[in-house]
Structure 1
Amino acid sequence: MLLFADDQEPPTSLHRKALSFLEEVCKREASCVQVQELTVLFQNGDFDKAYEILIPEFDHCTGEKCFLLSVLKAKIFYEKSLIKQAINEYKVSLDLRDKLPPSFREDFAIEPVMASLLLEEEAFLTAIQYLRPWVERHSASENKDQFGGYYHNLGIAYLHLKKFDSSAFYFNRSIEIEMEMADTLGLAISYMDIANLYYEQYLDDQAIPYFQKGLEYALLAQEPEVLRNAYLNMAVVEENRGDLQRALSYRKDFEKVQNTLWNRDKVWEMAEKEKTYEIGLKEREITILEQKELVKNAELSRQRWQIKAYLIASVFLFILAGVVAVGYRIVSKSNKLITEQKRVLEQMDTAKNRLFSIVAHDLKAPVRSLQRSQQKMAAAASAQDKETLLALAAENGHLLNATQNLLNNLLQWSLDQTNQVHLMRESIEPGRLIEQVLYDYEPMFQEKGIDLETDFVSGSMVLVDIQSMKVVFRNLLDNALKFTPKAGRVLIATSTRGDMVRITIEDTGCGMEQGVVDRLFEISQAKIQAGTDGTTGTGLGMILCQAFVSRNGGTIEVESQVGKGTIITLNLPRIAET
């Protein structure tokens, strides 16, 4: 089972208050640390430079200034993942703070920060010793938005110490505050943690309702990592209960969210790699320019030597002419190399700009829709309108599926554009390959009430890269599902014609105008079209299909009429029978 901790980073308000107080101290001193520069460095995350500025100030600081500098130093250690050093420095800050007027204790709540760091280091008993007295002193505070997390951290600490009654007490206090604040994400985590508390005691009957509540609030919060863990918990619970069908369903939901997280991280990783690659290209350009400068200086030196040599004897002119010719060829080759590198850089830059343009344009709408829906869900949750919540949850599901499909296509297209797709061709019957993809889509066609028919010819083999062709069939089935209305029909058939295997996907959907069909494989054209469920398509999937079919030695054809449907035909080279 998974266990959640309220992983609190030291509140940003703590170091911001320290910078603000430090500025007031500086006004009273003739010489002081550069507060404005420090503020900019903290905002930009340049903590190494900030550390260089802070350290000399400790040599001649007293009272309030030493305390404020210590808080900032601890923050730097935390941001650099030096948790033990951050804990030690916060201890110094506490000692300095307690020597100052009582108002500083109210303005700088260091104890909760210390407790969250100690939880990361698994020093649970010490974390309780810092956090519990502070919480008891401030429990009457009107500012309750932070206390749910503090109670939750106490519950985590007691749970690890196997003190289950105390742990349950603080988890319930956390849930009360999160209920009052309508904090769906906090409720999802708290319910899963209290479920784990009972699970640790083998009290499954008491744990399972809390796991279910955790999943309900995770669906409301729509935070991918928490939702993924909620699905995994329920899969394990149902597997232990012997309900393998429901366990499999939850496991599939877990894998969908896991794939969404993987795709998101992959896009970010790829963007970082592109940034590194561009920096490398710039460094190479600088190196080439430096080499050109060296060649230029050498040329000037050679010319001076030529003048001197001319005065000695005219015979050396022939030798120098040969040297000039060789040098000219070297420079010419260097210029050609620079031109070729510039051309490649422009191609890479064009691909990058296309990718960023699509991301900026096509992700904006679903993200805004999810934001509006989340606001509506929060309002519905406050009003306890379960029917509206369920409708909004279903709407969010459609938006997330559409966004996930877009991200998958963006990832595959960008990998293809940067030549990172490597084909491994295998012989396979097209019908078998399509059936592997249909396994995930048949329930969706049934849910929408679409009649899905197949007509596969056995014995015909093709030599293709299975993974890239799966991407092609997923996109084509997504389009058929999206643009075919309820009670419609989709037919998938294979046939042979000469040395080619023909695969057709025919639907009775809304169809397209001929002008749209003619521009279907042009990335520069906008092809946004609404499906029967209100979701939109960008056309990137069809461009990706054409690229992968072409790389597998085949062709793709599209026939469509508005109101009558669409026929997609793939022609793949057939393997000769032996």
Structure 2
Amino acid sequence: MAANHPHKKVLSWKTYTLVFLLYSSLSLSQSFKDADSLINIVETQFSNTSDSMQLVTLEEIYKNNKLKPDLRLKYALKSLKLSNQLHNELWLFKTNYELGNIYKKKGDLDTSLKYYYAALKQNELLDDIRNEALVNASISNIYKVNEDFKNAVKYANIGIKIYREIEDSVNLAINLMNTGEIYRVNQRFDSALTYFKESGDIFEIVGHRVGLAYNIGNIGLTHADLGSDSLAETNLQEAIHILEEEGDFYPIAVYNTYMSDIYQNRDNYEKALTYAVQSLNISLEHSLKEQIRDANLKLSELYVAQNNYQKAYYHQSQYLAYRDSINSEGKIREIAELRTEYEVNKREAEITILKNEKRTQYIIFASMAVIIILLGLASFLYYRNSRRKQTLNLILKERKEEAEAQRDQLEAINETREKFLSIIAHDLMGPVNSFKGLSTIMKMSIDSQDIKDLNDIHRVFDKSVNNLSSLLTNLLDWSVTQQGDIPYHPEKIDFNHLINELIDLFFNMAESKKISLRTNISDNLYLWADVNSTKTILRNLVSNALKFTDAGGEISIAAEKSNSFVVIKVNDTGIGMPQSKIDQLLAEDNFEISQGTQGEKGVGLGLQLVKEFVSMNKGEMDIESEIDKGTTFRIYLPQYNQ
């Protein structure tokens, strides 16, 4: 347990975790220029090289930690495909392991763990004890990030045991230090310091300066957790000095934030601000999202303590933006899980209906059997009344057909009702998400008593409420008029007016993701289509584009005349998709879950509505897409002819 300190604050808003991975940092010596050359070879001359040379070239690219994770992932997957084709056990192990590293850096820990386990299984064929230790250490780190203390220690100890047996001092020290960090994060400070002591002795003996710096820094973090600020400062300053010489900036950003905590505890806000600003600058320079988030929160806290609410508000806003960006994958996963639960419940309801229908059919069949028996007895006893029997059978047949027709009509009405419920839920997601962002900003403005910001927020909020009210009115009017089928009432539509409403609806959502939403619409452009279904088409296309486009991206909406049609183009700079995925989306009743930006997921409902409504309006649709470059949807709807 941490010792009590008279001025120590409980750092409930963050948990610092540093893990030193030598085996992933060794490739940093590869320059961008060399990587570009290798990528050029892969893209232009690969077919002329041998299989083994292709695998070596791909490895040089995907192990280059200076490249963006998505670029590394692209070439690692190429290597995995080639290794499978060649049935090469060694390269299957190496590629699966690096895919685990890449997905870990992308923050997709579940997928990372899947590839690590695949590498571990592949190594059973290779029977390489060093590989076994390497993968177990990586698996331990994933469990540590997921706060699974038991499994994190279990896999870490497997690696430590192997490195002791083969007398690999450097990797033993790395794994001892990482295990000590697991104990520190879980507040087992005595055990943590024991592991740090042993790993530090080894690093000092072998002269490994970076490893020694991490170890000293982790000891400093432990003393900070225990409330020993003086010891913490001494160790952290020493670690920062070494790491600055070695050019390793991530831990420096973390340590500077801790130094800011220490001086804040001493009420020395000037030095606390200096360290917090240093942490933010380093994090921004090297795109360290988690540390940008934490540094902004620390600066907001410090400025509040100094009554500088303007700067506190700015850094709080930055903190919320980066926090939401980092946590977006978790939110998408929650939405996918809710969708899965919905599908399961829906399936169970369908099963219940089928059971009830079978029970009803059984009763009908039993009744018919009784009637047939009675009719048989009547035929035997009243042979001369055969015409009456025929008339009775005809009446029964007509009633059966009438009952079946009524059942079919009820099923159609139920299907339409379910479809309307899906439409309403899907179309309301955008405005509700906008309200969530406005609520967060409003709370901050209330806390800071900023009346001007509240007035601005009120105007935006009022505008969003009007948009939502309009959306609900359209949906409710539409559902009231339907009589078992979705209504189709074509009319003259001013397309420019329709687009202005759409931009107003999605403005806040685009702003929250820092996405540019542009339009390029010809003047005097009119459609001949059903207005409600056309709005649904456009809402779903823009909503999907926002969902699968990274922050800072761009979405454009264009429209122009083409013969008797108006061609509507919705283009985004999002993650894109392969042709196989496009074929799946264009298939009938496809609701397959798909991944978007940073692991985002969609269930395909919106596109199903788009396909159905385009067809209903006598139009056509096609899709063009390219991985990592974006997607373009083209919708052809009839043009209004005067």
Shorter-chain TM-score bucket reads: 0.3 to 0.5
- The two structures have a TM-score, normalised by structure 2, of 0.44
TM-score of the aligned structures, taking structure 1 as reference length: 0.47
